Structure 1
Amino acid sequence: MSPMSNSLVEPQVESLATAGLSQGDVSDFFALLKPRVMFLVVFTALVGMVVSHPDVHPVVAFVSLLMIAVGGGASGALNMWWDADIDAVMTRTRKRPIPAGKIQPGEALAFGVTLAFGSVIILGLASNWLAAGLLAFTIFFYVVIYSMWLKRSTPQNIVIGGAAGALPPIVAQAAVTGHVAWDSVVLFAIIFMWTPPHFWALALVKSSDYERAGIPMMPNVAGPDSTRFQILAYTILLAPLGLAPVALGFGGLAYAIMALIGGFGMLALAVQVYRLRQGEPAMRVAQQLFGFSILYLFLLFATLLVEHGFGFFRPVFR
């Protein structure tokens, strides 16, 4: 933990340690799971299942998806436990359950560990141990590699750490098929390449927050101009990668249209972020890119879900 962060939040941490049992209710423990992130985990995992066209019992598929969601929530709870000191000094996170004093760090740790082990074991028993092993690796990567190491040590934290958030489609495919194929790997690659422009756009807007917490985000280390260039570079790679499902035969005509329109929108906003260097307009367009990137990823995966889940899939190349 950074010296700056510790000096700023020492009183809060001490008060939490001596407060006895927390006053948190069910909603506070649910907040520990990072429900918005957990929704993304569930959604991308569901698409990974559907594009695999598995011949699997629906109960097995449901339990597998549920355990992937629980594993994602466990990662969020353990991340909040470890990051309680920096959450307390950042404006967008200071109201989370631990810095707000609603849940003690030890309770969050026990909660997260229980969910992590439970989700892995149940997934292994309900589906297969390849999927369980991949889920365990995902939790380990997010909590230990990203949260405990990369986040506080390198501006590449989001790039490398993004692998954890991109793994759910692979875990889901393994859960319902017993193996990993190219379609889930491509979905992994899309999410992985999407992560840097998505989070760095937010980091441009919230750079003072990250600086106060001592987190080496790209704008605070390399500077805003370098970050804008890297956002553009990653987006240039992301846009054609979004069309890879079409080339590999599991993205249909509707997906191709959505990927083209969405990729163009991402590129247009990334160019604006690169060109606008100062003032309120620059911050506004960075915020727009952050918001649009969420819509872009959602629409890509939603189109695949509709094509394969509702029988609308028609390959572009026959």
Structure 2
Amino acid sequence: MFLAEQGVPNLKLVLLTCIGGYLSAGGANALNMYIDRDIDALMDRTSQRPLVTGMVSPVECLVFGIALAIVSTLLFGFTVNWLSAWLSLGALLFYVVVYTMILKRRTSQNIVWGGIAGCLPVLIGWSAVTDSMSWAPIILFGVMFFWTPPHYWPLSMKVKEDYARVGVPMLPVIASNKVVARQIVIYSWVMVAVSLLLTPLGYTGWFYTVVAVAAGGMWLWEAHGLQNRAKAEVTGTKLKEMRLFHWSITYVSVLFLAIAVDPFLR
């Protein structure tokens, strides 16, 4: 939103967009837990979710998820704009239907294409300010698209026994660590390259470029480190796959903070 405004966006608009986004994400997560309640009970990582423990009934969860989806869409439509509303609803439906119901249990590419839902918020933030689209949010969409697999696959490597137990074919379940690490490196290089497109197209300046190069360099260092350990057939805690997972969160936070600060330094 700072990039779209090239400065500080209307704070009321930011607040409404954040509330709408939180409600939409909450609805998507509730519906995801409703659909996945059978396998959540069998996975250590999800065994304490409300439906599994009985804190919330399936019907309550379903109604809550649908209600949040409706409220978030209407909130976006009547207080932000309808382009943002449809993008938000599209993200929710893509996550619930395409990822959770269709891809997750059928293909190792589930997180690649299912991750599109998590890329749409950058489009929503831009459209909230401009009520239109441009190349800048599309580039950021690309960054998030190529960020998602190397962000999630290290975590999947850590808990692959969980996924294997319930028959979810995450890439680390069906492929060796070497194969997964190679894919992580490929996606990482593309992600960093895409992140650098904003400056030559005139959307960002020197500050963002410096941060993107430095943060991207750190990411690539970690990604190649994981690949080297995987090639050496290191396993267990010595694989240190979670280092890249944790850095991925830091990376995307730093990158978007740089995007917000950059307009003030140009």
TM-score category, normalised to shorter length: over 0.9
Q: 1:106 to 1:168 in 2, by over 3 A?
A: same
Structure 2: segments with no counterpart, 5+ residues: none
> Could you give the per-residue CA deviations for residues 207-235 of structure 1, whole angstroms, max 9, x where no partner exists?
11110121100011233222111111111
CA distance in 2, matches of 1:100, 1:282: 30
Aligned partner letter, 2:255: L
Q: CA deviation at 1:63?
A: 1.6
CA distance in 1, matches of 2:181, 2:14: 41
Seq. identity, %: 36
- TM, length-normalised to structure 2: 0.93
CA distance in 1, matches of 2:204, 2:236: 36
* Contact 2:24–2:68, Cα closer than 8 Å, also in 1: yes
CA distance in 2, matches of 1:68, 1:272: 35
- After superposition, residues 194-233 of structure 1 pair within 5 angstroms as 194-233=147-186
The answer to whether residue 228 in structure 2 is matched with residue 306 in structure 1 is: no
Q: 2:245 aligns with which of 271, 280, 290?
A: 290
> Could you give the per-residue CA deviations for residues 150-172 of structure 1, whole angstroms, max 9, x where no partner exists?
11111000100111001001012
- Matching residue of 1:88: 41
CA distance in 2, matches of 1:57, 1:295: 26
Aligned partner letter, 2:187: Y
> Could you give the per-residue CA deviations for residues 171-209 of structure 1, whole angstroms, max 9, x where no partner exists?
121122111111111111111100011111111111111
Q: CA deviation at 1:100?
A: 1.6
Q: CA deviation at 1:281?
A: 6.5
* Contact 1:88–1:94, Cα closer than 8 Å, also in 2: yes
- After superposition, residues 110-189 of structure 1 pair within 5 angstroms as 110-189=63-142
- Matching residue of 2:4: 52
SS of the equivalent of 2:44 reads coil
CA distance in 2, matches of 1:66, 1:51: 20
Aligned partner letter, 1:302: L
CA distance in 2, matches of 1:198, 1:184: 20
The structure whose Rg is larger is 1
